[in-house]
Amino acid sequence: MTVANLLELDRDALAVFCEQLGEKRFRATQLFRWIHQKGAADFTQMSDLAKSLRDKLAGRATISAMPLISEQASSDGTIKWLFDVGAGNAVETVFIPEDDRGTLCISSQAGCAVGCRFCSTGHQGFSRNLTTGEIIAQLWFAEHHLRRRLNLPDNQREGAGADKRVITNVVMMGMGEPLQNYAALVPALRMMLDDHGYGLSRRRVTVSTSGVVPMIARLRDDCPVALAVSLHAPDDALRDDLVPLNRKYPLAELLATCKHYLTKAPRDFITFEYCMLAGVNDSDAQARELLALVAASGVSCKFNLIPFNPFPESGLKRSLNERVTSFLRVLQDGGVVATVRKTRGDDIDAACGQLAGEVQDRTNAKARMTRAPVQVHRSGSAVAEAIKAGRAGRQETAQ
Ligand code: SAH
Ligand code: SF4
């Protein structure tokens, strides 16, 4: 007899499981609330379930998160956890407290196969997708662990909780490309949004992607949470080099999909992330190309500039503060909302792009990543021109 880990099951799947045990489907809601709202890991705690059901569950199911390897706390309050996901792999989760919110940055894969030049996860290569349970366990652990530590009520009263949540926002910005692990991601997102689970609104859950075009379109239909797209370059030639996935899904296709996404999205804009790399993508001219690009695409957007967090193998440097400010000003003067992301947790290597965990690479990333220095191309407006002219795709935009 197999033992099911109930963290793997969203409420629908839990209802099916209950039926298989010969129980009514509605028991699933009770069970789900015990697990996700109250943080129960033990069936004996579940006082409103019949003893016979608790006994049945004890033999057939567990509620088990991955073993915790370590916890590190930054001087700015950021906390990073490292979890063992087996076979020599470990993933990281980061909690970022702010005055008015608590954000959890969650990993979706052990490693990442996209291989962006500026990302230390990308340099480690790819081992495997996380399961739904391993994705949601990061939130389950963090929420209840912090609640206990802060001495917040255990939330066992009916209706209590929403205002007592420690984690108010989730960003899928940890290790991995969430849209290359779509099947496991979507049930985990549903559990985050479920009123009987974490009850987060769709605008407080953000999926960040390097641009897996077909899966952006599917997410729009299946679970349209807030979308952040890692842009990093105003033209295909440079983006091909920085984000290799661009060779498959070039900018014109990516932007067209972003526009389509917004027809269903809870937020009326896409957040474009842009990692500022000295001498590579940070000139005023490139900022103007970006303006032309997004204007031509018609995508309502906001830019979030991320100062590059360096690591030795990348061979890249962080843009100087003056450069970031100047780039920001060009975007803002062009009428685009733009902000600079505050770096958090860099003293514990928890900042964007520094998450490295432990990855048993199966993709020969080291060889792939040892490439020639980035080629800087200065003629990025070709994509904007092509979009304006109603042409899209690789052939038309090739320079
Ligand atoms: N794979 C997804 C989500 C994880 S990365 C994606 O690429 O969007 C989360 C964000 O951190 C992305 O915008 C990514 O481009 C950025 N990032 C990666 N490496 C970085 C680094 N070294 N410095 C700053 N930002 C980085
Ligand atoms: Fe993967 Fe995102 Fe890192 Fe690129 S930036 S390698 S897509 S995790």
In the chain, where are the structural domains located? 4-62, 68-398
Give kind and range of the element (H or E) at residue 340. Answer: strand 337-340
- As a whole number of angstroms, the distance between CA 247 and CA 240 comes to 5
- As a whole number of angstroms, the distance between CA 173 and CA 135 comes to 12
Q: For position 234, what pLDDT does the model report?
A: 98
321, two tokens: 């503060």
Within 115-258, strands assigned E span 126-129, 169-172, 205-209, 226-230
- As a whole number of angstroms, the distance between CA 46 and CA 40 comes to 8
Q: Please, which residues have CB within 8 angstroms of residue 179's CB and are 6 or more apart in sequence?
A: 185, 207, 209, 212, 215, 216, 219
Q: For position 381, what pLDDT does the model report?
A: 58
Contact criterion met (CB below 8 Å) for 293 and 232: no
Q: For position 345, what pLDDT does the model report?
A: 83
- As a whole number of angstroms, the distance between CA 264 and CA 130 comes to 27
Handedness of CA 203, 170, 234, 339 (dihedral sign): positive
Q: What's the pTM?
A: 0.92
Q: Does the beta carbon of 304 lie inside 6 Å of ligand 1?
A: no
Q: What is the pLDDT of residues 171-207, one digit of tens each?
A: 999 999 999 999 999 999 999 999 999 999 999 999 9
Atom of ligand 1 nearest to the CA of 112: 1
Q: Does the beta carbon of 209 lie inside 6 Å of ligand 1?
A: yes
In the chain, which residues have pLDDT < 70? 1, 154-163, 266-267, 353, 366, 370-399
Q: Is domain 4-62 given the CATH code 1.10.150.530 in the classification?
A: yes
Atom 4 of ligand 2, nearest CA residue? 116
Helix-, strand-, coil-residue percentages of the chain, each rounded to 5: 40, 20, 40
Q: How far is the CA of 306 from the centre of ligand 1 (A)?
A: 9
Q: Please, which residues have CB within 8 angstroms of residue 107's CB and are 6 or more apart in sequence?
A: 91, 92, 93, 130, 135, 138, 174, 175, 176, 355, 357
Say how far residue 201 (Cα) sits from the centre of its chain. Answer: 16
CA atoms within 13 A on the CB side of 368: 20
- As a whole number of angstroms, the distance between CA 130 and CA 107 comes to 8
Q: For position 362, what pLDDT does the model report?
A: 85
Q: Which of 92, 134, 143, 253 is catalytic?
A: 92
- As a whole number of angstroms, the distance between CA 297 and CA 117 comes to 26
- As a whole number of angstroms, the distance between CA 186 and CA 191 comes to 9
Q: For position 397, what pLDDT does the model report?
A: 32
Rounded to 5°, angle at Cα 363 from 247 and 176: 70
Q: Please, which residues have CB within 8 angstroms of residue 342's CB and are 6 or more apart in sequence?
A: none
Q: For position 357, what pLDDT does the model report?
A: 74
Q: Which of these, 56, 12, 14, lies nearest to 34 by C-alpha position?
A: 14
For the question of residue 92 being annotated catalytic, the response is yes
Atom 24 of ligand 1, nearest CA residue? 308
Q: For position 160, what pLDDT does the model report?
A: 43
- As a whole number of angstroms, the distance between CA 330 and CA 234 comes to 14
393, two tokens: 């795709």
Q: For position 398, what pLDDT does the model report?
A: 29
Could you please state the CATH topology (level 3) that the domain comprising 68-398 is classified under.
TIM Barrel (3.20.20)
Q: For position 365, what pLDDT does the model report?
A: 80
Q: For position 369, what pLDDT does the model report?
A: 74
Residue 232: left (phi > 0), alpha (psi -120 to 50), or beta? left
For the question of residue 352 being annotated catalytic, the response is yes
Q: For position 164, what pLDDT does the model report?
A: 72
- As a whole number of angstroms, the distance between CA 190 and CA 284 comes to 41
- As a whole number of angstroms, the distance between CA 165 and CA 239 comes to 39
Which amino acid is present at 152? L
Q: For position 399, what pLDDT does the model report?
A: 25
Q: Does the beta carbon of 115 lie inside 6 Å of ligand 2?
A: yes
Mutate to test the pocket of ligand 1, among 242, 243, 306, 342 (most ligand atoms within 8 A of CB): 306
Q: For position 330, what pLDDT does the model report?
A: 98
Q: For position 393, what pLDDT does the model report?
A: 42
383, two tokens: 């994509």
Q: For position 161, what pLDDT does the model report?
A: 47
Question: What is the β-pairing status of strands 102-105 and 89-97?
Answer: antiparallel
Q: Which of these, 189, 188, 183, lies nearest to 204 by C-alpha position?
A: 189
Question: What is the β-pairing status of strands 89-97 and 79-86?
Answer: antiparallel
Equal fold, 4-62 vs 68-398: no
> Phi/psi at 239 (nearest 5 deg)?
-70, -35
Q: Which of these, 92, 83, 95, lies nearest to 345 by C-alpha position?
A: 95
- Return the number of other C-beta atoms located less than 10 Å from residue 314's C-beta: 19
Q: For position 151, what pLDDT does the model report?
A: 80
